[in-house]
Amino acid sequence: MLIGIDYSKPTWTKYDRTKRFAQEFIRWKYKSDDIHIRQLNFDFVNQFELWLKTIRKCCHNTSLKYISILKMIILYCKDNRWLDHDPFARFEMKKEDVEPIFLTKEEIQTIADKEIRNERLSRVRDVYVFCCFTGLAYADVEKLKRTEISVGVDDQLWIFTDRLKTKIKSRIPLLPVSLGIIKKYKDDPACINANKVLPVLSNQKYNAYLKEIADICDISKTLTTHTARHTFGTTVTLGNGVPIESVSKMLGHKKISTTQHYARVLDIKVGEDMRKLKDRLNSAS
């Protein structure tokens, strides 16, 4: 009932998948369809993590994502006094530091310029490029309404939206590439009827078609909704000297430390600090 209000469809999907994985794990380990909640213990979560990594072939961070969702349910039970302790309390929830995948300027141009005659692939390409130049996540571009495009403080068109995941406001000035894509779908019947800016498919189909686009563009990187957002945060903005505070605000990050992860990847701060040092050394000599 709250999907699209307090929770996005992808968030619901993660919770539903966690439930299904927990059920599969219980059948695998306990040879039963269910167990009493009071049977949960530290061994359960350790074995669940092992099962996720070996049987389901999940990476470390993905495994922790499912465990953290299950832990939220456990804490809910504890708050309601259905459990008198947290069986996962001693489990270490430490994510591995993973560098974000993003496209180079040349790769973005290759995708944008590629002649694609297949309409469904062409539309997916347009949505992807739009996200590369706006930083919108899938859930946010999927729900983006035409009424959320309006004139900003500089008399230019901006996106004024609230991130579905964090409820944080995003204010994004539109670059010429993004404006061109918006104009392309201005008279699209489906977009008009839904009051949407772009014709966005389901996340599953969208990511599947992105793989086809990567193949026809000879790009070896995995194209996903996340790589477009990462590309905006690195190549498009930080890589062109946009201050990290502005990038963080446009991306709708809760903490600037999240945005700093992109800067570390590009070594922007290191390069800028060393340039200042060179200038000071030159002026002193």
Tens of pLDDT, residue by residue over 253-272, are 888 888 888 777 777 667 77
What pLDDT was estimated at residue 266?
A: 73
The fold of the 105-271 domain, in CATH, is hpI Integrase; Chain A (1.10.443)
Task: For residue 87, name the pLDDT band (cuts at 50, 70, 90).
Answer: confident
Tell me the domain boundaries of the chain. 9-79, 105-271
The CA angle 198-200-203, to the nearest 5 degrees, is 155
Structure tokens at 107: 């790769």
Q: What is the mean pLDDT of residues 49-63?
A: 91
Q: What is the pLDDT of residues 30-50, one digit of tens each?
A: 999 988 888 888 899 999 999
pLDDT tens string 198-212: 999 988 899 899 999
